[in-house]
Chains A and B, each alone.
Chain A
């Protein structure tokens, strides 16, 4: 608790932290509001070519809301915001050289790493809890008695979302500790998430039979894949294959292994390098 309370003293008065977290929730809210419109616009578009029109999608009722909202909250463009917060909080210590002061004042190097991991864990937990409360409220508003009885059927998606958030923030933690420079770390991390991984996907040509497997196991995609699709009945009909029903342990295991290796590398290098 001591380490976390030191971190809170650093974070709570920090305006940039609140601005980016605020932006994250703003984008999230916009996404949630627009999601239904966008999906139904797609349904309308498809309906013009179908003899029997598909029904309009309703995203926010139990139990599908768990899957739908966690899906929209974990797309690359949204997920990047809390990751940037983590990068800034860690690289700040290097650019302000406060990491040196912390060590000189009697923090061990491992404690320093541990304190940042606590921040990462708490941030992932708090975001998950807030999102969960939002989903719970929205679900209660939109659900009838029948769907209320299945309220917690899709709860594994909430746990999956927490794992997504946690592991993705650990990736950010890793990049921040290795690069130590705010601008560089944010630029590379954003570039990798949004451009490099998708480009790798397109570069692997079709005859390459491992294409999908390789892409599945790339770090950021392994995170995204935990909640892979939204649950929309119309979409299920169109795609004509079994969409995701729940979060699988295997899907969570891949990014968690990445995260564990990254934490290991951070411990190893941070204990060796000069500050």
Chain B
């Protein structure tokens, strides 16, 4: 991790988006006291972090971690005891996650989807102020993914602050309203999901002198960003700019074009471009 700085406000559904190995789990591990940072600090609820602040947080971390020889109910009893709660809320979270019928079966007999749901159940125990989810749908089948997302969306409606780490763009877009894009331990972008992941079209350009072309594009009043790949420049503009107007603009600047096309971008492409942009 490298000089990461984030503020997350109450009630936000905050996504941390990044490819595998970008530092999402490390970040969450540090704020949950699992990983000791070399330097830096963080606060929970505006206070110095302590075990008491962690009791107000529900977290699903990477893999579901429970005692294999204990039933779901007994595992949740241990969680409740650590958090200083009584057992009154256990039935509710088991019902919410659809595990109530299997509550007395041993954890080791569960399918992966059920294990993940038990992790979610333990995180939801006694309505935490903050819910932290690290790749909650990783490794699940489509049905399992849909089930987990439904539960998360339901919880998000109740106004709980959620921090969700994921490498799936579409997951972050469906669930979160704020996002930070992470790569190799650095924050690339952060802000409102609609802004950061805004799907604007881009324009493909090429000429015999790409350097001059790039300089000219960067001077355009509506210029947003530009990247080069395989001799073709991809330009993004902050407002709707048509290829025709660009052609005209470049003609005035005396730059002849060898290639000009409008490209519709998919979300996935946009995400990859965000990452690529950072590397160049």
Contact = CB atoms under 8 A, between A and B. Distances in A.
A112 B35 CA distance: 16
B43 interface: no
Interface stretch (B14-22, B57-65, B196-204): B57-65
Contact of B69 (A14, A108, A111, A275): A14
Interface stretch (A48-56, A95-103, A223-231): A95-103
Contact of A6 (B29, B68, B81): B81
B147 interface: no
A98 B66 contact: yes
Interface in B49-83: 50-52, 54-55, 57, 59, 61, 63, 65-70, 74, 77-79, 81-83
Interface in A105-127: 105-109, 111
B55 A105 contact: yes
Given A100-B61, A102-B82, A105-B82, A13 B34 contact: no
Contacts, number: 78
A13 B69 CA distance: 8
A205 interface: no
Could you say which of A102, A104, A111, A272 has the most chain B C-beta atoms within 10 Å of its C-beta?
A104
B36 interface: yes
Given A96-B66, A274-B34, A274-B36, A104 B54 contact: yes
A13 B74 contact: yes
The number of chain B residues touching the other chain, given as a range, is: 20 to 34
B52 A106 contact: yes
Main secondary structure of the interface of A (DSSP, over half): helix
A213 B165 CA distance: 58
Given A98-B66, A100-B61, A274-B35, A105 B54 contact: yes
A96 B61 contact: no
A15 B108 CA distance: 14
B34 A98 contact: no
Interface string A3-16: 00110011001110
18 contacts: A6-B81, A6-B82, A15-B69, A96-B66, A98-B65, A101-B66, A103-B32, A103-B33, A103-B54, A104-B57, A105-B59, A105-B79, A105-B82, A106-B55, A106-B84, A272-B36, A274-B35, A275-B35
Interface of A: 2, 5-6, 9-10, 13-15, 92, 96-98, 100-109, 111, 272-275
Interface of B: 29, 32-36, 50-52, 54-55, 57, 59, 61, 63, 65-70, 74, 77-79, 81-84, 122
Shortest 5 CB-CB contacts between residues of A and residues of B = A106-B55, A97-B65, A106-B54, A101-B65, A108-B51
